[in-house]
Chains A and B, each alone.
Chain A
Amino acid sequence: MSEITVELPKSEPASRSFIGRVRDSDLLASFLSSKVTVVAGVLTLIFFLAAVLAPLIAPTNPFDPASNFLIDSLNPPRFVAGGDARFLLGTDDQGRDLWSAILYGLRVSLLIGVFGVLLGGAIGITLGLIAGYAGGRIDSIIMRIADVQLTFPAILIALLVDGVVQALLKGQNREETAFGILVVSIGLSFWVQYARTVRGSTLVEKNRDYVQAARLIGLSPARILARHILPNVMGPVLVIATINLALAIITEATLSFLGVGLPPTQPSLGTLIRIGQNFLFSGEWWIVTFPSITLAALVLAVNLLGDWLRDALNPRLK
């Protein structure tokens, strides 16, 4: 095979700045036209900022055992009778400041969610592109696997992967491996949707003229897939990714709640809720309440954004 390199002219002069294009786009107009969406967007932004800036905002580091004292344990929130002024939202059984723990927990939950979605997306998009472009046996093998996996709810797959990876990494320190295990479990349980969508779009795109042209000038399949087809199938992927972020956050929280996620020494929101649940009957309601509200608000905001994005990018609804 001879490599023919052709210098293609740049298709579109980059005359308009990115900000200008965003300002004039339909997307922004439709974003601003829905109050609920704006609120959800602002809320999501706040959550992300709080997660990134957690070390700066939080009064104490809840992961650092030296900064927590058992004597401070089970303090009610500041605004309740008997509350300690140092602890805005009270403390848990370890004497951890709940406000700090929530900020750090948010950080962990979002990090795992984002990485899980990225991993799932990477696997799904790659397999979808390959399946759609190659067709034939490769396509049917990949899609069969996807079908069988769809048999099982994501949470079950995540639990299974979690269990298997833990068994394989036996003897390793759980605190070091938990993060990676969760990302892998979430990534492996959420790739199917990307693969199916991307495969469908690829099947359509691969017969278009520009792909034929790219093939004609001798580009390798990998290059055609990555540089030519991929940008044209990304629209639906974005919607799936947003909705999956909410699902990934829920999955992480659920696994941590079930006790196979993050250990109590580096709690995510799910771990905090798991800890708090034990104190439901003894009257320490704040330990479970505040992390729960944070988690619910976070997932709701991301879900609303995903809903909006899906409708905004769907030409049939215009």
Chain B
Amino acid sequence: MIAFIIRRLFASIGVLIAVGLIAFLLFRYVGDPVNQMVGIETPESERVALRQQLGLNDPTIVQAFRFLAHAARLDFGISYQFKQPVSELIGARMPATLELAFVASIMSLVTGIPMGVYTALRRKSALAKLFEALSLVGISLPTFLIGILLIYLFSVTLGWLPSFGRGDVVHIGSWWTTGLLTASGLKSIIMPAITLALFQMTLIMRLVRAEMLEVLRADYIRFARARGLSERKVHFRHALKNTLVPVITVVGLQLGSIVAFSIITETVFSWPGMGQLFLQSVQNVDIPIMAAYLLFIAFLFVIINLVVDLLYAAVDPRLRVAIHGA
């Protein structure tokens, strides 16, 4: 087990270093960092001094190592457009995005799994057909269209929900802010979270349905029936449990993409999160923020991957045996 974890850890670190090097290449070779930092009328001597001070004259290898070392300490330099440390900018906006992603994933799980189970068990029923039709529409509608539709319905026409922003936020600890504790914050998060959750929900529903159908055809289900177990027990104790393994993986891996997809949702709803910051940095070629965001997503993915692998071992006894045997 420990050997397994260590092996996974090394693989994860490898991915992070690879992404870090890409981030470094972006930082160093897309545009000139010095030109981005100084004004037009800065004299050449100051530019040379700054170049020396930033260590841009050192060998590339040294620079790459320095970049990675700084990144490991969450030091990504100064944003070109805001003239503030990147880590502060991202840190200030991280709670908004993570909160949104968290609420959206819960939403998609709570709706997607039951819908998937239902459509698999009652394939012929009208409701199942409706769910399936909805899921196809959900996959075909681009995220931003869903957001616009919701705004049109609930903000413009009905006037129930705010169309932008996070509402009032409460500070928790030194840097975390939450909108989940105020009425306006809760109202504000509903539409962005639904927008973000809808695509994940259809994905989870389709996956659970496909896995469930596969599992229901397996021999052990037939045996369970032959043993005279109730349908309920067969479906939920035997079938559902076995479909959950791939579902865990996909849901876990999707968490990273929820955070990335929130770029779109945050733009539609003017949600003050990291996605908006990233989009601004793409528009203004603010490489330090782009590099930091890239690394953040990679880090998130690596962590989630690790957790998923460990959960695997916890859920599936066969894997535990295989790991011990290896």
Q: Which residues on A are within 8 Å of B, measured CB to CB? A: 144, 147-148, 151-153, 155-156, 159-160, 162-164, 166-168, 170, 246, 250, 253-254, 257-260, 273, 277, 280-281, 285, 288, 292, 295-296, 299-300, 303-304, 307
Tell which of B26, B137, B281, B297 touches A152, judged by Cβ atoms closer than 8 Å.
B297
23 CB contacts below 8 A, A to B, read A151-B19, A156-B297, A164-B26, A167-B31, A168-B30, A253-B142, A253-B144, A254-B143, A257-B264, A258-B144, A258-B267, A260-B283, A280-B148, A280-B156, A285-B152, A288-B148, A288-B152, A295-B142, A296-B141, A296-B142, A299-B142, A300-B140, A303-B140
| Minimum CB distance partner of A243 in chain B | B139
Contacts of A300 in B (CB 8 A): 136-137, 140
Tell which of B18, B30, B137 touches A164, judged by Cβ atoms closer than 8 Å.
B30
Tell which of A152, A258, A260, A280 touches B260, judged by Cβ atoms closer than 8 Å.
A152
A299 to B140, CA, bound (A): 6
Contacts of B140 in A (CB 8 A): 246, 296, 299-300, 303
B 286-305 to A, binary, CB cutoff 8 A, 1 in contact else 0: 01001000100110011000
Contacts of A257 in B (CB 8 A): 142, 144, 264, 267
Q: Which residues on B are within 8 Å of A, measured CB to CB? A: 15, 18-19, 26, 30-31, 136-137, 139-145, 148-149, 151-152, 156, 163, 256-257, 260-261, 263-264, 267-268, 278-279, 281-283, 285, 287, 290, 294, 297-298, 301-302
Tell which of A156, A167, A304 touches B263, judged by Cβ atoms closer than 8 Å.
A156
| Minimum CB distance partner of B137 in chain A | A300
A147 to B136, CA, bound (A): 28
Inter-chain pairs besides A277-B148, A281-B163, 16 sampled, C-beta below 8 Å: A148-B15, A151-B301, A153-B261, A160-B294, A163-B281, A163-B283, A163-B290, A164-B30, A170-B31, A258-B264, A273-B148, A292-B148, A295-B145, A296-B140, A296-B145, A303-B140
A162 to B26, CA, bound (A): 13
**Taking the nearest CB of chain A, how far is it from the CB of B134, in angstroms?**
12
| Minimum CB distance partner of B287 in chain A | A167
A16 to B263, CA, bound (A): 53
Q: Is the CB of A155 within 8 A of B282?
A: no
Known interface pairs A152-B260, A300-B137. Does A167 touch B285 (Cβ–Cβ under 8 Å)?
yes
**Taking the nearest CB of chain A, how far is it from the CB of B205, in angstroms?**
15
| Minimum CB distance partner of B300 in chain A | A151
Contacts of A259 in B (CB 8 A): 279, 283
A90 to B145, CA, bound (A): 20
Q: Is the CB of A254 within 8 A of B264?
A: yes
A151 to B304, CA, bound (A): 11
